[in-house]
Amino acid sequence: MIIELAEYDEAWPGLYERERERVLGAVPGAVLEHVGSTSVPGLCAKPVIDLMLVVEDPVDEGSYVPGLEAAGYRVVVREDDWHDHRVLKGPDTNVNLHVFRRGCAQVRRHLMFRDWLRATPEDRELYASTKRALVAREWERVQDYADAKNAVVLEILERAYLQWRLPSDDVEFVTETPPLNASVVLRDYDPQWPRWYAVEEAKIRAALGDVVVRLEHVGSTSVPGLAAKPLIDILLVVPDSSDEDAYVPALVAAGYFFRLRERGWHEHRLFKGTEPDVNLHVFSPRSEELDRMLAFRDRLRSHPADREEYERTKRELAARTWERVQDYADAKTRVVERIILRALG
């Protein structure tokens, strides 16, 4: 199979606008974005208009597919094991309409890649030259060509995510702790760690009852075989993390102390427990950070090479002295983002 690239066509944005009117007419109130190479001025591309539709639940096809079918679209792909992704084809223009749920990490991934290429000529040219080199070859399937681009896509996305992950300036410390020179002590994996988590899980469920939407053991102590600080990271999902009255008093009464809030970063709240050392992260259900944290954990559990890369990085960094433990965490960002990007696919 020969892959054909076209030079950027000024007509592509107009084709998107026409489809936008058609799609949003069929699914009022949804979010639609032009993504993929045709959304980046100056970038060569296969002449396929990639659209991204964000709905509450892609699996609930009855909420959006009938309207799209009436507009001439048809479902061609269902991936229940990959973010519940759906793809529909357009009626007359060569269109791929990708459907994801609100809060899915893939949404930001697509937007970030598009926006970074629009703003960064060097990476736009790197991506274009990579595509031109690959289309000179024959491919059995279009997907094989897409897979071959993955290495450079991940390289570009890694740079984009590092910019996005710059420290937030809106952290509000509820309980202050003074900065200190901190040595980071890693321990070999301890089979006690899942048991520690189980005790904390029972405590949280007893304190909050039906307020708990989801509770997960995350972070390094949740990955068998991985060296870690003996710190139990817990992901708590509540109906609305900004509604502190619904869960803060009960968690404080259960022995946790309210450490900080980050309104500008997914309305994140952090609580601490001391025996054992616990970081309790609170989010709302549609936060993309849920996808990212769980994807990172599951990737490390299932891919030994990534687990070894992460442990090697941690051991190298732990040999240094840090002004704050957070500085050690920030220094791991590049390898963390790289592994998350692999996990998201």
Last residue of a domain, one of 164, 196, 231: 164
Query: What's the rounded mean pLDDT across residues 183-196?
Result: 93
Separation in Å, CA 163 to CA 70, 158, 160, 212, 334: 42, 9, 5, 33, 11
Q: Report the percent of the chain where pLDDT is more than 70.
A: 97
Both 84 and 226 in one domain: the answer is no
Both 89 and 199 in one domain: the answer is no
Q: Is the pLDDT of residue 10 over 60?
A: yes
DSSP category for residue 254: T
Q: In this structure, how many other beta carbons lie within 10 angstroms of the beta carbon of residue 212?
A: 16
> Bridge-partner residues for 236, per DSSP?
215, 282
Both 134 and 180 in one domain: the answer is no
Both 21 and 82 in one domain: the answer is yes
CA 256 to chain CA centroid, nearest Å = 28
Q: How far apart are CA 245 and CA 273, in angstroms?
A: 19
Pairwise pLDDT comparison (141 vs 87), residue with the higher score: 87
Last residue of a domain, one of 139, 164, 189: 164
Both 204 and 293 in one domain: the answer is yes
Residue 2 lies in a domain: no
Range of the domain at 192: 171-344
Both 150 and 191 in one domain: the answer is no
Q: How confident is the model at residue 3 (pLDDT cuts 50, 70, 90)?
A: confident
pTM: 0.87
Residue 6 lies in a domain: no
Query: What's the rounded mean pLDDT across residues 95-100?
Result: 97
pLDDT at 42: 98
64 and 88 Cβ atoms separated by less than 8 Å: no
Residue 7 lies in a domain: no
Question: Which residues are within 8 A (CB) of 104 and not within 5 positions of it... i.e. 6 or more apart?
Answer: 54, 83, 288, 291
Pairwise pLDDT comparison (166 vs 312), residue with the higher score: 312
Residue 244 lies in a domain: yes
Q: What is the CATH number of the domain that holds 73?
A: 3.30.460.10
Q: How far apart are CA 317 and CA 330, in angstroms?
A: 11
Residue 5 lies in a domain: no
Residue 102 is encoded by which pair of tokens? 């609100």
Both 186 and 305 in one domain: the answer is yes
pLDDT at 143: 84
| R_g of the chain, CA atoms, integer Å | 22
Separation in Å, CA 31 to CA 25, 27, 211, 265: 12, 9, 29, 20
Residue 295 is encoded by which pair of tokens? 């994807």
Q: How far apart are CA 166 and CA 179, in angstroms?
A: 19
Residue 232 lies in a domain: yes
pLDDT in tens, 60-83: 999 999 999 999 999 999 999 999
Provide the number of structural domains found in the chain. 2
Q: In this structure, how many other beta carbons lie within 10 angstroms of the beta carbon of residue 66?
A: 12
Both 151 and 21 in one domain: the answer is yes
Residue 65 lies in a domain: yes
Last residue of a domain, one of 100, 132, 164: 164
Both 40 and 132 in one domain: the answer is yes
Q: How far apart are CA 340 and CA 337, in angstroms?
A: 5
